Structure 1
Amino acid sequence: MNYQRRLLDAIPGGAHTYSRGHDQFPVNAPPILKGGKGVEVFDPEGNRFLDYGMALRAVTIGYAEDAIDEAAIAQIRLGNNLTRPSLIELEAAEAFLEAVPNADMVKFAKNGSSAVSAAVKLARAYTGRELAVRCQEHPFFSYDDWFIGSTVLTRGIPESVQAGTTTFHYNDLASLERLFDRYPGQIACVVMEAATTEPPAEGFLPGVQALCRRHGAVFILDEMITGFRWHLQGAQHYYGLEPDLSTFGKAMANGFSVACVAGKRDIMELGGIDKTGTERVFLMSSTHGAEMSSLGAFVAALDFMRRERVVEHLWTYGQSLMDLMARVARDAGVADSFKVGGYACSPYFMTLGADGKPDPALRTLFLQEMIRHGVMMPWIALAYRHDEQSLDRTRTALEASLPVYAAALREGVDKYLQGPAVKPVFRKYN
């Protein structure tokens, strides 16, 4: 059954997230999955894979975790979506604000794009300015035009919208200072993640925050990936920051659809309705934004993460995985090409060609061989249910895959790679 053809015929891009598209995986990857349990996924034919994709980092406990699912089902049985705010809506908001004490108010959404765009809108309303500045090295903030217009994918986006966002460089405070000098009194906000693959240089993050304060711009910290992974209070706690606004998602509800924008009361309440006579900001208004099942899952997931010390497990397991991958790479003689780095709670790997630059063909070959040996590792997203057995399965796959990688370095990758190399999501042409 040609699932890939059916997907492409029915859905633009063949998936509802470009990162799930067939151009992001080797040809031997399962084109479609039926389900998952723990840290395994399986296709309709029953083939099972140890997974390190974990639903694009959204599942940090495990697939089909009973305690989380039962909490969601309990809310479904209460109606799932009511005419007035639900009790779980209030409980979820209060639970989030207790967990992230830098925030005074929170507004839930169904995806991170909506949350970050809402933060930018709040910043523009609060400052009366229009220009948004975002970090060039951080790959994704929103599918909305204010962000996509600052990438190479500008088709369909008016030039006036493209001009509303500009970029600075991570770990280059001077690049941000130059923008404040170039656009005095015009920058509404600075949008960035605290860290991705590159750690922050000493003084960089506090420096960004200080520049925003000095120039009256709103400091927006995107915690879609770092939130509930670096620390239960987020990377803002880990790095000692106090953002004006922050956005969370992914790890919030173990795969259920929850994201949020949160922050200081004087900014957040611009989206309110209780100050008579003040001009309104139409912030977010979504029929399903406070869907009860997802918020029930969030409250249960937060309790689980706190009780089972999930974040601590991610750091411990991740360090063991990084050590394992580095050791097997050394044993296979590919340590100069196959690099492992990042934070233990969120590692990454790189495949470098002879020129020292990332090589997509080598990356695809590695993904191909790992899948051949039962491990899906498009990136490394860790979950609580990754355990010693998972590490053993990963070791077996690595020890079988990296010798093929070594042979490809000697003899040419084309001899071993089946199908085309994976492509970057952000590219001008297909």
Structure 2
Amino acid sequence: MTHPSEHHGRSFARSAELQARLHDLVPGGAHTYARGSDQYPEFMTPVLDRGTGARVWDADGNSYVEYGMGLRSVTLGHGYRPVVDAVTAAVTNGTNFTRPTTLELAAAEDFLDLVPGADMVKFAKNGSDATTAAVRLARAVTGRQHVVACDQPFFSVDDWFIGTTAMKAGIPDVAGECTHRFRYNDLDSLDRALSAHPTACVILEAATALSEPEPGFLEGVRKACDRYGALLIFDEMITGFRWSEHGAQGVYNIRPDLSCWGKAMGNGFPIAALAGRRELMELGGLRTDGERVFLLSTTHGPESGGLAAFRAVVRAYATEDPVGRMEAAGRRLANAVNAVAVDLGVDRYVQVIGRPSCLIFVTRDPDLQPSQEYRTLFLQEMLDHGVLGQSFVISAAHTEVDVDETVEAAHAAMSIYRRALDAGGVTGFLRGRPVAPALRARAEPRRLTDLSTGTHLRQ
């Protein structure tokens, strides 16, 4: 009998064993919900061992072209040598000290040179710390409690945001009551939200993979914030160093009051930042006569490795045009995969869409409705043919060979997809249960049903 973790000559047995052990030791089997086994086809959850450039290898020795690249945090490629060398040199001289370092000053100067709309910066280790600090500062500045957030998927792991999601167990009901939503590219919905409550701040991603600002939209958001006395916060976690090293604010020429950064600013090394206008940021410092704000105070925020990685990333962006390379490779990938979809007659069901540097794929069922079952089938077949990724988010390290192999894998995957469409469903094609939304109230529909069977663990 074929083991459930063996497919098309690829064995996932070792990964399945390690994933089972992870589930015993780590809640959810991963330290990030987006990396969870429920986000991948059942029995096909590679546990990775190493990577270089745009390629990774799992514990079974399988090789993949990877997309998503560390949840969009890696733009220069895995093991990018100038960053690795800079970090190695820095940490050799110590990683964490009792006082600020010369490296902190140099990194702050580098950052503020890139973001001319910001006067001051504080470094941290994750994006949620930065966005929550921005919200706290806005509340202190305005004396108001309410927050208006765009209807975008994610802003923070903290209560003010998670309290508005389906996965809010353990969060006081009041935590989410002061957070309200408005629709992107809809200034009327923003006006309604701002007029309903005295609002401390508006937080949004200035653009996303699928949504570019319509003419006048960001300018209208800026004016609405000024009119209602709310601070404007840009979440630059994804747009920073993927749209531009200057962030979305540099691309669209809109200055927020505060901006929050992370992900690709360290090419995968942990570093985040809160930046903003001096008169606001100083409320967390020692040059204010007002009540001080507990802005950001982290043991590891100024750790040498992350700051050295950031400075090396800055140098790479100044000399190598990673954004241009990502956009060129992304356009080539999207055009080629979409052309294959046309050839196979599935172009209404499978589409690659989005900004070339931040592509996603859409999967639809025979009724042209978004489908987790068909998404899982596509992921399953891509994995079988050597491509790992929940998206086609690319990096500057993806070569023409990587893209060509991805197109070949997509051709094979869409051929199976076509057969499933013709059959009216995924039964007989999909092995195991479909993926499920990462943020959901219950473990079902991907609850672990047997905690004792090792490699046969249902994920």
Tell me the TM-score range normalised by the shorter chain: over 0.9
Alignment correspondent of 2:452:
none
Alignment correspondent of 1:381:
393
Tell me whether 1:122 sits opposite 2:145 in the alignment: no
SS of the equivalent of 2:70 reads helix
Percent identity (aligned): 47
Tell me whether 1:32 sits opposite 2:44 in the alignment: no
Alignment correspondent of 2:243:
230
Cα distance in 2 for partners of 1:28, 1:37 equals 25
Aligned-pair CA distance for 1:274: 3.3
Q: Which of 243, 246, 254 matches 2:256?
A: 243
**Structural mapping, 1:31-430, within 5 Å:** 31-136=46-151, 138-183=152-197, 186-196=198-208, 197-275=210-288, 277-411=289-423, 412-430=425-443
Cα distance in 2 for partners of 1:302, 1:164 equals 37
SS of the equivalent of 1:211 reads helix
Letter of the structure 2 residue corresponding to residue 65 of structure 1: Y
Aligned-pair CA distance for 1:336: 0.6
Cα distance in 2 for partners of 1:414, 1:371 equals 19
For the 8 Å contact 2:107–2:307, the answer to whether it is kept is yes
Cα distance in 1 for partners of 2:81, 2:162 equals 37
Aligned-pair CA distance for 1:354: 3.0
For the 8 Å contact 1:209–1:219, the answer to whether it is kept is yes
SS of the equivalent of 2:427 reads helix
The alignment's TM-score, normalised by the length of structure 2, stands at 0.91
**For 1:94-131, what per-residue CA distance to the aligned partner results, in whole angstroms no more than 9, with x for missing partners?**
10000111111111110111111111011111111110
Cα distance in 2 for partners of 1:101, 1:355 equals 48
SS of the equivalent of 2:275 reads strand
**For 1:184-209, what per-residue CA distance to the aligned partner results, in whole angstroms no more than 9, with x for missing partners?**
xx100001101222222222221111
For the 8 Å contact 2:148–2:194, the answer to whether it is kept is no
For the 8 Å contact 2:46–2:59, the answer to whether it is kept is no
Letter of the structure 2 residue corresponding to residue 22 of structure 1: S
Cα distance in 1 for partners of 2:217, 2:369 equals 26
SS of the equivalent of 1:414 reads coil
Cα distance in 2 for partners of 1:36, 1:338 equals 28
State how many pairs are aligned: 426
**For 1:155-182, what per-residue CA distance to the aligned partner results, in whole angstroms no more than 9, with x for missing partners?**
1111121212111111211111111222
SS of the equivalent of 1:413 reads coil
Cα distance in 2 for partners of 1:357, 1:143 equals 30
Tell me whether 1:16 sits opposite 2:31 in the alignment: yes
Once structures 1 and 2 are overlaid, which stretch shifts more, 59-68 or 338-347? 338-347
Letter of the structure 2 residue corresponding to residue 77 of structure 1: T
SS of the equivalent of 2:155 reads coil
SS of the equivalent of 1:34 reads strand
Cα distance in 1 for partners of 2:43, 2:393 equals 21
**For 1:312-340, what per-residue CA distance to the aligned partner results, in whole angstroms no more than 9, with x for missing partners?**
11111111111011101111110011122
**For 1:258-286, what per-residue CA distance to the aligned partner results, in whole angstroms no more than 9, with x for missing partners?**
111101111111111233x4311111111
Letter of the structure 2 residue corresponding to residue 130 of structure 1: Q
SS of the equivalent of 1:328 reads helix
SS of the equivalent of 1:219 reads strand
Cα distance in 1 for partners of 2:363, 2:27 equals 30
* Residue ranges of structure 1 left out of the alignment (5+ in a row): none
For the 8 Å contact 2:19–2:45, the answer to whether it is kept is no
> What root-mean-square deviation, in Å, do the aligned CA atoms of Structure 1 and Structure 2 show?
1.2
Aligned-pair CA distance for 1:28: 4.8
For the 8 Å contact 2:338–2:351, the answer to whether it is kept is yes
Q: 1:40 to 1:419 in 2, by over 3 A?
A: same
Cα distance in 2 for partners of 1:86, 1:115 equals 21
* Residue ranges of structure 2 left out of the alignment (5+ in a row): 1-13, 444-459
For the 8 Å contact 1:3–1:31, the answer to whether it is kept is no
Cα distance in 2 for partners of 1:19, 1:30 equals 12
The alignment's TM-score, normalised by the length of structure 1, stands at 0.97
Cα distance in 1 for partners of 2:37, 2:310 equals 30
SS of the equivalent of 1:68 reads helix
For the 8 Å contact 2:42–2:434, the answer to whether it is kept is no
For the 8 Å contact 2:57–2:63, the answer to whether it is kept is yes
SS of the equivalent of 1:262 reads strand
For the 8 Å contact 1:117–1:142, the answer to whether it is kept is yes
SS of the equivalent of 1:346 reads coil
**For 1:8-60, what per-residue CA distance to the aligned partner results, in whole angstroms no more than 9, with x for missing partners?**
11011111100000000113534311111111111123211110021111100
Letter of the structure 2 residue corresponding to residue 394 of structure 1: T
